[in-house]
Structure 1
Amino acid sequence: MIIRKHEKACIAFFSLQALIVFLVLVMAISPTFAKKKPAKVIVAYVTSWTSDIPDPKQMTHINYAFGHVNDLYNGVRIDHETRLQAIVDLKKKHTHLKVLLSIGGWGSGRFSEMASDKITRAQFAQDCARVVKQFHLDGIDIDWEYPTNSASGISSNVNDTHNFSLLMKAIRKAIGSKKLLTMASVASGKYVAFDMLEPYLNFVNIMTYDSGNPPYHHASLYRSAMSGNTTCEEAVTAHIAAGIPAHKLVLGIPFYGRGNKQEVKSFIDYKDLLKLQGLEKKWDDVAKANYMVNEQGEFVLSYETPESIKLKCNFIVTKGLLGAMYWEYAGDTDEGILRSTVYTGIFEYSLYRYLRIVNNRT
């Protein structure tokens, strides 16, 4: 068989294209293949009070919740250290995985006192470095809820915002540039000076949930008449305006719903809300949000589904955000309906967009 020169060129061209597609597919969908950090991240919060051992195949980072500021304001206290060690041990078989200790959480105090004093601030930062080394962690995640605000029952001070910036600078210096330093941020982007913090942070996990209770959505993607205080779109806009570039933003996704207390409890894991009886599922096509109503047609539950999560993942990729975060791993079903949706949405949709761009250029 005689193959003309132009046919050989075509075969070579398409063989090269096939090779590129194959390599991109493997590296995008299997983070374990690449030695470098994946282009996108999926951060799973894993709590000290649950017993689930997470499957690292569908995530890139685990934030272990929680550590706390100790009673002397000069160091770190960790909830259930043996569980943290068990989570860190997952890295032995899953070398792509990064594990961070998340310090703080709702109602976790003593931040204000610690950060306001130069000496205790420096001691705390050094203890963060000690914890990272002792437990072979990849970094520290700070979840102070919130500087200058005592809504969670913790102490606060008007100087907290400035002191928080000094604290993050001190932690960065103590743990070094090769370790990760991240933070959890309220959806509104308030309470901290992001323009000052940005140089010290690898990325910011936006808590784009808990923005409302029924009859309002607590984590809607876009604004509708039924949206809560802040939507995902508004939260991202606020953080970018405050000084964090899109490529350092990680969008939070709740693996739980918020109920009206009378018919559905205030917080209900996704795996449990699937068992609810006597409620009708509804969809807000403006907000891109799910909700349930009772027999009287009253909005009683705000929650996520794979369908709404897919749209959020598309939003993350198209807006150039770094990735997705979810609270929390144990809220999902045993088979991982939600976490597999996040993984597919972030990595496979990223690949689809990449290939479409490559195809348009050729």
Structure 2
Amino acid sequence: MAVQSIITTPLLVILMSLRSYAFTEPSLHRQQPPSKGGVRAAYWPAWSDFSTSSIDTNYFTHIYYAFVQPAPESFNLEITESYKKWAPKYDGIHNIRPRVTTLLSIGGGGNNATLFSEMASSKQNRASFINSTIHVARKHEFNGLDLDWEWPGDEKDMSNLALLLKEWYKALVVEANTSRKSRLLLTSAVYFNSTISLIGNGPRSYPVRAIRKYLDWASPMCFDYNGAWANETGFNAALYDPNSNISTKYGIGSWIGSGVPAEKLVMGLPLYGRAWELKDPNDHGVGAKAVGPAVDTDGSMDYDEILVFNKDTGAKVVYDEVAVSFYSYSGTTWIGYDDGPSITKKVQFARSMGLKGYFFWAIGKDKDWTISKQASNAWGY
């Protein structure tokens, strides 16, 4: 995921290639809106300065604790002493009202994809990993497990992912029956599109049948469509893009079209933007030439930081009705991001498609729960 995760430099290859392809948008079969409940989730990064006790759970139903990693060779989850400071058993999140469901997220954008490939490559390795995840989740009082493997590198990895999900789910069922506890949830963050192209060893598609059968839901990461890896400005999470298939509408359509029911999809939303340094401050539209990131090493700016920048610099703020996204510019800095109105429309899109819900990356990046509150209201709360 973003900032310390999600898509890095290899996405440049995707973007440059896909923009040159003709494409046909997958059919979006409109569903009945989901029940009022649904999933209103967010990831809470372990490295965050924002404590779990400060989370306003009026705006969330599920919180993902991110991230832990499997150890090399043993494939058991690596749990350090510092981990105990933020596990649900110790941090008191279960005492907050309204109560939220907690999931332990494994992997993230900074993970070792080769290690995940090795873990999933044999039944013995998968069993070691699965048993460890269940043990850790129960010991530290999580309600579920979330896999964020970025990214399965080829068709063999995708085939092994299917086996992993099948065996993981069956192990969860057996454990629940044995312990006489509610089964742990099993979810997975996935690429925004059901097929990954041009990263690793060629195009490969997710194991849709296994996802449909064994996951409680899949979470397409509908962000990081553009960034400082490409020297031109663009939206971080365009809902629509008439010129390419890099858009949330296209991505969600690909998942539904591949056979994953809408009610098993939880759509990702960003609480951050991407900032470029413009080559020419007088050329400041979408697609303007840039010379690299305006901040940090990847151009990431949290939503609250963007608001400060816009105010302090008197930046020009523009809402793009086609992309359903915002951008602002001042001097040589250009930022593509989401604000309340665009997030509201994206959540309404998720509801209109009958999706199970939405999630944010990540808690601690909002400003006084501004975006979180508007999203929750748009969902129907």
Length-normalised TM-score, structure 1: 0.77
- CA change 1:58–1:182 in 2 (3 A) is same
Distance 2:379 2:79 in 1: 31
Distance 2:127 2:68 in 1: 17
Which residue of the other structure, out of 167, 170, 187, is the alignment partner of 2:192? 187
Deviation per CA, 1:73-105: give whole Å up to 9, x if none: 421124623212367631234364100000000
Determine the structure 2 residue equivalent to 1:162: 159
Distance 1:87 1:257 in 2: 32
Verify: 1:131 aligned to 2:136, yes or no.
yes
Deviation per CA, 1:210-265: give whole Å up to 9, x if none: 0113511120111145x7x5211111101112221101111111000011145345
Q: Give the Å deviation of 1:347.
A: 2.2
Determine the structure 1 residue equivalent to 2:210: 196
Distance 2:96 2:317 in 1: 41
Determine the structure 1 residue equivalent to 2:42: 44
- CA change 1:113–1:83 in 2 (3 A) is same
Q: Give the Å deviation of 1:161.
A: 0.5
Verify: 1:215 aligned to 2:233, yes or no.
yes
Verify: 1:263 aligned to 2:294, yes or no.
yes
Tell me which amino acid in the other structure corresponds to 2:77.
V
Distance 2:90 2:157 in 1: 32
Distance 2:223 2:39 in 1: 19
Tell me which amino acid in the other structure corresponds to 1:159.
K
Tell me which amino acid in the other structure corresponds to 2:358.
A
Determine the structure 2 residue equivalent to 1:287: 323
Q: Is the 8 A contact 1:56 1:90 kept in 2?
A: no
Distance 2:143 2:253 in 1: 29
Tell me which amino acid in the other structure corresponds to 1:330.
G
The higher relative CO (CA closer than 8 Å, separation ≥ 6) is in 2
Determine the structure 1 residue equivalent to 2:374: 341
Distance 2:247 2:187 in 1: 22
Verify: 1:77 aligned to 2:113, yes or no.
no
Distance 2:84 2:168 in 1: 21
Number of matched pairs: 299
Please list every run of 5 or more consecutive structure 2 residues that lacks an aligned counterpart in the other structure.
1-34, 177-182, 196-204, 277-291
Question: Deviation above 4 Å: which 4+ runs of structure 1?
Answer: none
Determine the structure 2 residue equivalent to 1:327: 361
Q: Give the Å deviation of 1:169.
A: 1.3
Q: Is the 8 A contact 1:252 1:325 kept in 2?
A: yes
- CA change 1:311–1:158 in 2 (3 A) is closer
Determine the structure 2 residue equivalent to 1:302: 336
Q: Is the 8 A contact 1:278 1:295 kept in 2?
A: no
Which residue of the other structure, out of 97, 116, 121, is the alignment partner of 1:94? 97
Verify: 1:175 aligned to 2:189, yes or no.
no
Q: Give the Å deviation of 1:71.
A: 2.0
Let me know the Cα RMSD of the aligned residues.
Answer: 2.1
Distance 2:157 2:341 in 1: 39
Distance 2:293 2:163 in 1: 44
Distance 1:279 1:249 in 2: 36
Deviation per CA, 1:27-60: give whole Å up to 9, x if none: xxxxxxxxxx963111110010013122222100
- CA change 1:301–1:95 in 2 (3 A) is closer
Determine the structure 1 residue equivalent to 2:57: 56
- CA change 1:321–1:158 in 2 (3 A) is closer
Q: Give the Å deviation of 1:319.
A: 1.2
Q: Give the Å deviation of 1:186.
A: 0.7
Q: Give the Å deviation of 1:295.
A: 4.4
Length-normalised TM-score, structure 2: 0.74
Verify: 1:230 aligned to 2:246, yes or no.
yes
- CA change 1:262–1:113 in 2 (3 A) is closer
- CA change 1:200–1:38 in 2 (3 A) is farther
Determine the structure 1 residue equivalent to 2:202: none
Distance 2:304 2:89 in 1: 24
SS in 1 for 2:164: helix
Q: Over alpha carbons, which structure has the higher Rg?
A: 1
Please list every run of 5 or more consecutive structure 1 residues that lacks an aligned counterpart in the other structure.
1-36, 149-156, 349-362
Q: Is the 8 A contact 1:88 1:135 kept in 2?
A: no
